[in-house]
Amino acid sequence: MRMPARQRCHAVLAGLVTLATAATLSVAATAPAAAADTWTEVGSDRADPLTESQGLASVEVPAGSPNRYTGIGTIPFGLTVRGWNHVGDPDASYNGYYVEPYQADSGNAKMFRVQAPGGAWSEYVHTLSPGEALNNSFDTISPNGSWMVSGEWGTMNRLLVFPTPGVNPGTSPSANLPQASTINLDHAVRDVQGCDFATSTQLLCSSDDPEGALFGMTKPLLRIDLSAEPGSADVNGHVTALRQLPLRSSCSGSFEAEGIDYDRRTGTLRVIVVSPGFCVLTDSKTYRFTKS
């Protein structure tokens, strides 16, 4: 979810052919254990590079709903021509609202596209607060449904809290979606691609950090323990690195950690990792984990 989104997506797709000859086995280094929580890999599924490469969400309502995914191929044409050409990691509320985060290459706003349980879509635009980055990497909805957490690209010491569009009665498609508060982190994070609530006061997040200096590993799975449930008042967040995400491919090069989802019905955590080079087409994966 790096910027500018359009140029980056086009560059990746255009470079696939030239990278096809560069396939060599890449083996990830074993990351040091950094926390008591152990999330064990239990399986994986191929992630389609066009429709499953940005984010994912489990949907509880109505019962039996399929998992939702986002990618460059899921962006409606009407949004693309209006400049909303990048979609991030979505989430669904426990009462059936589904929210996708969108960004443009320039401007002073970001957008959240909401589907109500009945199927109708609406758009909620947020004008950037002073100092807020344009990126709109993800959204995750609090278990009580009223509040939504989002994040910015780069090295950050905060996450942003909004009233959940379409769910919180203080929101309207015809009015600016305001930032409600901030989650102040006790440790910097870099390039967070997605977060999901594990409990009302705990987030699990996927970081695309390519450097590894912050936590002693690249592409970490993070846990953020909150001092209180997010809402209209600022809260604090304690950051812990749990493990390195899997980095396995038949191609060498730079992997990209993407969206994350925690399905509370099964206790399954899923994270998308996009493979480098030509292998973005063949062995990008949605990895599944369970806590032990």
Q: What pLDDT does 35 receive? A: 55
Helix (H, G, I), strand (E, B) or coil at 97: coil
**Cβ neighbourhood burial of 174 (10 Å; 0-12, 13-18, 19+):** exposed
Residue pLDDT, tens place only, 128-140: 999 999 999 999 9
- Contact at 8 Å (CB) between 189 and 155? yes
DSSP for 196-220 reads EEEETTEEEEEE--SS-TTTSSSSE
* Residue 190 neighbours by CB distance under 10 Å: 19
Q: In the chain, what's the furthest Cα-to-Cα distance?
A: 54
Q: What pLDDT does 36 receive? A: 64
* Domains contained in the chain, CATH given: 5-291 (2.120.10)
pLDDT less than 70: residues of the chain: 1-36
* Residue 160 neighbours by CB distance under 10 Å: 23
Residue pLDDT, tens place only, 16-48: 433 333 333 333 333 333 456 899 999 999 999
Q: How many CA atoms lie within 13 A of 225 on its CB side?
A: 6
Q: Flag whether the pTM goes above 0.85.
A: yes
- Contact at 8 Å (CB) between 141 and 147? yes
